[in-house]
């Protein structure tokens, strides 16, 4: 089974370089990014489209859903919750450490990275049991980092630079 993961288009907190757990919609730039991605998606014959419950992911999924498949929401695809960091600049943390799988640091009430990865891994483990050929997943940068860990291994535990950019797509074999 091929699994294609897409990160949603730009939202205000991306442009402001902030942590955010608000349920924001796409910016005009984010809509354009999704429209451009829709052209690339046309060549993928996906059987199912699975999506995060957050508005930015659902709006992106609506735009890129060229096969007009039903969009199935899975809460395990929701972004890592930054908790009390929400609304603050990304600079308030050591970003490498925030995305270090082996970190002992806890930044505010942010979701623990190992628990977050475990949540995403449970989604992928369940997906393995399904009989799809091509799956399109619309989610978030953090979720794409967890996908990277699942398919490529945890290795040094450093995931800051292993996530997707807005409306980037990556293919994995499950």
Residues recognised as catalytic: 8, 79
Neighbouring C-beta atoms of residue 104, cutoff 10 Å? 6
Alpha carbon distance 143, 148 (integer Å): 9
* Residues ≥6 apart with Cβ < 8 Å to 112: 106
Burial label for 173, CB within 10 Å (0-12, 13-18, 19+), is exposed
Report which secondary-structure segment, H or E, holds 76.
Answer: none
DSSP 27-46: PHHHHHHHHHHHHHHTT---
Beta strands in the chain (DSSP E): 2-7, 48-51, 71-73, 134-139, 169-173
Sign of CA dihedral 113, 119, 122, 123: negative
């Amino acid at each position: 089974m091929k699994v294609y993961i897409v990160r949603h288009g730009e939202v205000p907190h991306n442009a402001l370089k902030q942590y955010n757990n608000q349920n924001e919609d796409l910016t005009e730039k984010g809509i354009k990014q999704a429209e451009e991605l829709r052209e690339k998606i046309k060549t993928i014959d996906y059987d199912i489209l699975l999506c995060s419950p957050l508005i930015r992911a659902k709006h992106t999924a609506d735009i890129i859903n060229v096969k007009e498949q039903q969009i199935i929401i899975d809460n395990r695809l929701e972004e890592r919750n930054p908790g009390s960091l929400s609304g603050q600049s990304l600079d308030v943390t050591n970003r490498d450490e925030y995305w270090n799988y082996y970190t002992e640091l806890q930044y505010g009430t942010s979701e623990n990275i190992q628990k977050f990865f475990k949540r995403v891994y449970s989604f992928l483990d369940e997906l393995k049991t399904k009989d799809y050929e091509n799956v399109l997943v619309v989610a978030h940068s953090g979720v794409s980092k967890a996908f990277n860990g699942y398919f490529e291994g945890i290795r040094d535990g450093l995931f800051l630079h292993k996530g997707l950019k807005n409306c980037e797509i990556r293919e994995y074999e499950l």
